[in-house]
Amino acid sequence: MQEYHFKIYNIIICISGKPHSWEAFYVGNEGKKRKADFIIPENLEESDLCEYLADLFHEYATPTNHKTFRIS
């Protein structure tokens, strides 16, 4: 199963799976994962994950913490 890691406004998020079977996890400071409390739409493509997460978590953005990007 493919894994994608993102840093969204300083929150590390791991998305695993593929379109139609995504799973989302929060990643802690020690690398431990816990199931996220949000879902990824089934029809979302891998190339759209970062933008979707940025839209979902936009309330966490601040003038000094406004970057979203894929880590791996």
Q: Tell me: the pLDDT tens digits for 12-67? A: 999 999 989 999 999 999 989 999 999 999 999 999 999 999 999 999 999 998 99
Extents of the domains making up the chain: 2-70
Using 50, 70 and 90 to split pLDDT, how confident is the model at 1?
confident
In sequence order, which residues have a C-beta less than 8 Å from that of residue 17 and are 6 or more positions away? 1, 2, 23
Using only the alpha carbons of the chain, give its radius of gyration: 12
Neighbouring CB atoms inside 10 A of 6's CB total 22
The dihedral built from the CA positions of residue 31, 36, 42 and 48, taken in this order, carries a sign that is negative
The whole-angstrom separation of Cα 4 and Cα 65 is 21
